[in-house]
Amino acid sequence: EVQLVESGGGLVQPGGSLRLSCAASGFTFSNYWMSWVRQAPGKGLEWVANIKQDGTEKYYVDSVKGRFTITRDNAKNSLYLQMYSLRAEDTAVYYCARTDASIWSFDYWGPGTLVTVSS
């Protein structure tokens, strides 16, 4: 069974940093693109970043470029999102999602982890 479990969320002050993790199981992690998608409270979905199977390609939404870094460790079946210079508008539930490159859609999602940026 495919499982994705995020961790690392919490309350952080504006300008602070946080590192999210996503533990994957039930599939060959190194065969898939992986993504982070976020959802602000009461709002819609926003794609944040994705990373190729071997980590050689990474893409970001403009609003996080230069502040967030997506990485992966295929030996640990884990995806990460390092977030710096956090702003109030980064407050959201952050989901880890598997991307099936044959259909280019997010076919499995984790339950999400809440990041709150507030003083």
Partner 1 sequence: DIQMTQSPSTLSASVGDRVTITCRASQSISSWLAWYQQKPGKAPKLLIYKASSLESGVPSRFSGSGSGTEFTLTISSLQPDDFATYYCQQYNYYPLTFGGGTKVEIK
The minimum distance between CB 51 and partner 1, in angstroms, equals: 13
Residue nearer to partner 1 on the CB measure, 47 or 84: 47
Classify residue 67 as exposed, middle or buried by CB count within 10 Å of its CB (0-12, 13-18, 19+): middle
Residue nearer to partner 1 on the CB measure, 110 or 115: 110
Report CA-CA distances (Å) from 48 to 28, 54, 76, 119. 23, 19, 22, 23
The minimum distance between CB 112 and partner 1, in angstroms, equals: 6
Residue nearer to partner 1 on the CB measure, 16 or 109: 109
The minimum distance between CB 41 and partner 1, in angstroms, equals: 12
What sign for the dihedral angle of Cα 96, 102, 104, 107?
Answer: negative
The minimum distance between CB 75 and partner 1, in angstroms, equals: 26
Binding site for partner 1 (CB under 8 A): 35, 37, 44-47, 50, 59-62, 95, 100, 103-107, 109-112
Reading the block at residue 21, the tokens are: 């993790």
